[in-house]
Amino acid sequence: QKEVEQDPGPLSVPEGAIVSLNCTYSNSAFQYFMWYRQYSRKGPELLMYTYSSGNKEDGRFTAQVDKSSKYISLFIRDSQPSDSATYLCAMEGGSYIPTFGRGTSLIVHP
């Protein structure tokens, strides 16, 4: 079993939908959780960073962490075609070397 599991998709939704992206993990030492967005042929761009259980909101994006279930989520409200990209989750513990999920490909169609 991989340390971080992420469904590669693709996930296809209509414009305006609420998108839910998820990762599960097995290492209970993970304390810091990140979501990155990666457009084709570009580097990942940091979207959200959190180090505690609960929710963190930034504009249309909400990151949710449930450490008891070892489950993290990224919600995108009012999705736009420009949100079409690959979304990578990442997490790390005391080693300060992040472990990345494989990424989920999101397609938002007009």
Contact footprint for other proteins (CB under 8 A): 6, 8, 31-32, 34, 36, 41-46, 49, 51, 88, 90, 92, 96-98, 100-103
- Residue 25 CA to residue 103 CA, distance in Å, equals 14
For the chain, the C-alpha Rg in angstroms (whole number) is 13
Report whether 89 contacts 76 (CB < 8 A): no
CB closer to other proteins, 18 vs 46: 46
Question: Least separation, in Å, of the C-beta of 75 and other proteins?
Answer: 19
CB closer to other proteins, 17 vs 105: 105
CB closer to other proteins, 42 vs 77: 42
Q: Residue 14: is the preceding peptide bond cis (ω within 30°)?
A: no
C-alpha distance from residue 65 to each of 18, 73, 89, 109 (Å)? 18, 7, 12, 28
Residue with tokens 């042929």: 41
Closest of 37, 19, 32, 108 to residue 67, by C-alpha: 32
Question: Least separation, in Å, of the C-beta of 26 and other proteins?
Answer: 15
Question: Least separation, in Å, of the C-beta of 88 and other proteins?
Answer: 7
CB closer to other proteins, 24 vs 101: 101
Question: Least separation, in Å, of the C-beta of 92 and other proteins?
Answer: 7
